[in-house]
A = this chain, B = another copy of it.
């Protein structure tokens, strides 16, 4: 009978300002190291000014439309109370809250069960370069 296990690793990604950065291969590498064949992978970003989104992985234009939509939906030039760190301070938290901090992806036959067009992306909401920590936890057998 297979034995249930937990495998967890944290990796870092360096962002160079606002935008979406694919992290699918880093998540896949941790899954492979875990030797877990079936179960779930949970992805968690340890920040409140960037977020996660599972998005179309083929057309960069689709991601630019997403990024531009968030610029219009949560504009920097609105009247925010919290702007200690600049005009992208409160906007980055609001854009984070509208997307995701954690995501759960099923695993079967040792592979992430993403659809054909799905990639996992870090969504950076800050103008400046940042180091971002992402925790990947695999649970299964």
Question: Which A residues contact B (CB, under 8 angstroms)?
Answer: 1, 3-6, 8, 10, 38-40, 42, 44, 46-48, 53-56, 59, 61-62, 64-66, 69, 73-74, 80-82, 84, 89-90, 93-94, 97-106, 108, 113-115, 117-118, 133, 135, 137, 139-141
Question: Chain A contact residues: over half helix, strand or loop, or mixed?
Answer: mixed
Assuming the contacts A81-B65, A82-B62, asked whether A44 and B105 have C-beta atoms less than 8 A apart, the reply is yes
Are the C-beta atoms of B118 and A6 separated by less than 8 Å? no
CB of B113 within 8 A of CB of A46, answer yes
| A106-B137 contact given A62-B82, A66-B90, CB 8 Å threshold | yes
| Cα of A103 to Cα of B102 in the assembled complex, Å | 6
Copies of this chain held together in the complex: 3
Could you say which residues of chain B place their CB within 8 Å of the CB of A117? Answer: 47-48
Docked Cα-Cα span, A6 to B140, in Å, equals 7
Q: Are A82 and B64 in contact (CB under 8 A)?
A: yes
Interface contact A115-B137, CB-CB below 8 Å:
no
Q: Do the beta carbons of A39 and B81 come within 8 Å of each other?
A: no
Q: Complex: how many Å from CA A47 to CA B56? A: 8
**Is there contact, CB below 8 Å, between B106 and A42?**
yes
Q: Which of B42, B46, B48 contacts A55 (CB 8 A)?
A: B48
